[in-house]
Amino acid sequence: MEPIFLIGFMGAGKTTVGIALSEKVNLPVIDADKYLEEKQGKKVNEIFEECGEEFFRDLETEVLKELSRKENTIITTGGGVVGKRENCELLKESGTVIYLSCLFDSLWERLKQDQTRPLVSQNNKKQLHELFQGRASLYESCSDIIINTEKKQVEQVIEDILVLFSDTKA
Ligand code: S3P
């Protein structure tokens, strides 16, 4: 089976849902950012700080190319992966893409105290909202399945994914 990608804005729960889904369906999960960090021996925020965002984006594309060849695997992606058309095309042609959608205010509640994400520390609420609005249509056009995660427990999100996933395969 082709890989399953989870996409969505920062704070949408991709990592948490990825792990829970992996346990539910008994498939391995790879977090693309963690994979990138291990390869580079540096944290994402260190890469942003020392080499800039563009350098990080090139690494992100490289990692995506590598991971998109994995079979029977769940891949959780960074929120900015849809920023490059090349990445979107790769996602669409390589596997099933699941977009975890959420309202900006809910994301902001989770993100506002975050110290680990460079784009959260570099931007205020208004700037992040603009980033969110700019990306929303990209997430939608990249995805095969859209899951509204608003006010849902992880278990419910997994249920919704499984129902819609089996529909796409029917
Ligand atoms: C980013 C999201 C982050 C990480 C990097 C950039 C973004 O991943 O890739 O900080 O541009 O939205 P998460 O979505 O897992 O936080």
Q: What domains can be seen in the chain, in order of their start residue?
A: 4-163 (3.40.50.300)
Binding-site annotation, residues for substrate: 33, 57, 79, 135
Question: Taking the alpha carbons of 119, 120, 125, 129 in that order, is the dihedral positive or negative?
Answer: positive
Is the distance from the beta carbon of residue 78 to the nearest atom of ligand 1 less than 6 Å? yes
Residue 168, pLDDT score: 81
Residue 19, pLDDT score: 98
Give the whole-angstrom CA distance, residue 83 versus residue 62: 14
pLDDT-derived band of residue 167, with 50, 70 and 90 as boundaries?
Answer: confident
Q: How far is the CA of 89 from the centre of ligand 1 (A)?
A: 19
**Mean pLDDT on 44-56:** 97
pLDDT at residue 170 is higher than 70 = no
pLDDT digits (tens, 9 = 90+) for 112-166: 999 899 999 999 999 999 999 999 999 999 999 999 999 999 999 999 999 999 8
pLDDT digits (tens, 9 = 90+) for 58-111: 999 999 999 999 999 999 999 999 999 999 999 999 999 999 999 999 999 999
- What's the pTM? 0.97
With residues binned 3-state (H G I as helix, E B as strand, rest as coil), the percentages for the chain, rounded to 5, are 60, 10, 25
Is the distance from the beta carbon of residue 158 to the nearest atom of ligand 1 less than 6 Å? no
pLDDT digits (tens, 9 = 90+) for 12-48: 999 999 999 999 999 999 999 999 999 999 999 999 9
Residue 58, pLDDT score: 98
* Residue nearest to ligand 1 atom 3, measured at CA: 78
What is the best residue among 117, 132, 133 to mutate for testing ligand 1's pocket, by most ligand atoms within 8 Å of CB? Answer: 117
Greater confidence, 170 or 26? 26
6 close to 18: Cβ distance less than 8 angstroms: yes
